[in-house]
Amino acid sequence: MNKFNEREKSFENKYAHDQELQFKVNVKRNKYLAEWVCNRLGKSNIEDYAKALIKADFQEPGDQDLIKKIQEDFKANNTPLDPKELNKEIQSCFERAKKDFL
C-alpha cells in the first residue's frame, strides 16, 4: 500500500472512531438528562425514561426532538420549564458525558 492509501485509511479510521465516540457521549448525555428530568418531575423510572430520550433523539438530526420530548413531558406533568434552563442542563450533561469518555 502506498503512503496516500495509508493516510486515507488512517483518516477513515479516525472518522469512524470519532463518530462512535460522539454517539456514546450523546447516549450518556441523554442518561444524565433523564436523571435530571426524573428528579424534577418526581419520577423514579430513570432507566425507562433514559431509553425514551435516546429513542426520541433518533427522530431528527440535532437536539430539537429531544427538547420537544422533554417540554411535552413537563407540560403533561404541569411543571413549568424555562427553555434557557433546559438548554443549560443539556449543555451541562453533555460536558459531564464528555468527561466520562475523555
Of 44, 21, 45, whose CA–CA distance to 97 is shortest?
21
Identify the CATH number of the domain in which residue 48 sits.
1.10.790.20
**What range defines the domain where residue 24 resides?**
3-101
pLDDT in tens, 39-58: 999 999 999 999 999 899 88
> What's the CA gap between 10 and 59, in Å, rounded?
31
pLDDT in tens, 55-95: 998 888 889 999 999 999 999 999 999 999 999 999 999 99
The structure's pTM equals 0.85
Query: How many domains would you assign to the chain?
Result: 1
Q: How many CB atoms lie within 10 A of CB 2?
A: 7
> What's the CA gap between 67 and 90, in Å, rounded?
9
